[in-house]
């Protein structure tokens, strides 16, 4: 695994997170083709069922203002953190329980190599590296409710989460 030894509790504390938070990470440019609005809608359902869940979005781009508007509209201002462009992705991976990705890409590999299960839409060859239920979850773009239910189940089952981290 591509992880470094870090003080996860201290890093979480710096980000305003506790050890009880279920943390979902997204590392991507803030642009329309990255499906941020879709993931925010999924996270809204997750957060309703798992109020201690948090969504960290690392990246910058032209859609930042639009995403802030969506976050406010969905009532997620206390649960979603826009981190901006980052150079500490290893630390963010270390404190995250799950990562959202839009398909096969470098970030998918980085998260999986760090032992972070990945939840993705089945596009761009994601099925080549993500084994549904084993090291992550794959869904069609229209399956946001099924995606949220899978994440909720994982957030409530630490044994399953630990098994997926090791896959």
DSSP three-state, residue 67: helix
pLDDT attached to residue 1: 45
**Residues 70 and 80 sit within 8 Å (Cβ to Cβ):** no
Distance of CA 52 to the CA centre of its chain: 14
Rounded Cα distance between 160 and 165, Å, is 9
pLDDT digits (tens, 9 = 90+) for 61-119: 999 999 999 999 999 999 999 999 999 888 999 999 999 988 787 888 889 889 999 99
Rounded Cα distance between 5 and 145, Å, is 36
Q: In this structure, what token pair is assigned to residue 84?
A: 């901006």
DSSP three-state, residue 94: helix
C-alpha dihedral (150, 141, 39, 35), degrees to nearest 10: 160
Model confidence pTM above 0.75: yes
């Amino acid at each position: 695994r591509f992880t470094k030894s870090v003080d996860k509790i201290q890093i979480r504390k710096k980000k305003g997170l506790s050890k009880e938070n279920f943390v979902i990470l997204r590392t991507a440019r803030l642009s329309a083709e990255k499906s941020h609005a879709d993931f925010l809608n999924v996270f809204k359902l997750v957060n309703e069922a798992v109020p201690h869940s948090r969504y960290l979005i690392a990246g910058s781009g032209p859609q930042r203002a639009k995403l802030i508007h969506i976050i406010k509209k969905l009532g997620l201002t206390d649960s979603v953190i826009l981190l901006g462009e980052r150079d500490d992705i290893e630390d963010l991976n270390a404190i995250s329980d799950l990562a959202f990705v839009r398909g096969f890409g470098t970030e998918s590999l980085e998260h999986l190599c760090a032992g972070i299960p990945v939840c993705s839409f089945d596009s761009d060859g994601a099925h080549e590296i993500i084994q549904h239920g084993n090291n992550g979850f794959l869904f069609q773009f229209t399956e946001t409710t099924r995606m949220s239910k899978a994440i909720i189940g994982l957030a409530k089952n630490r044994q399953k989460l630990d098994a997926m981290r090791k896959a």
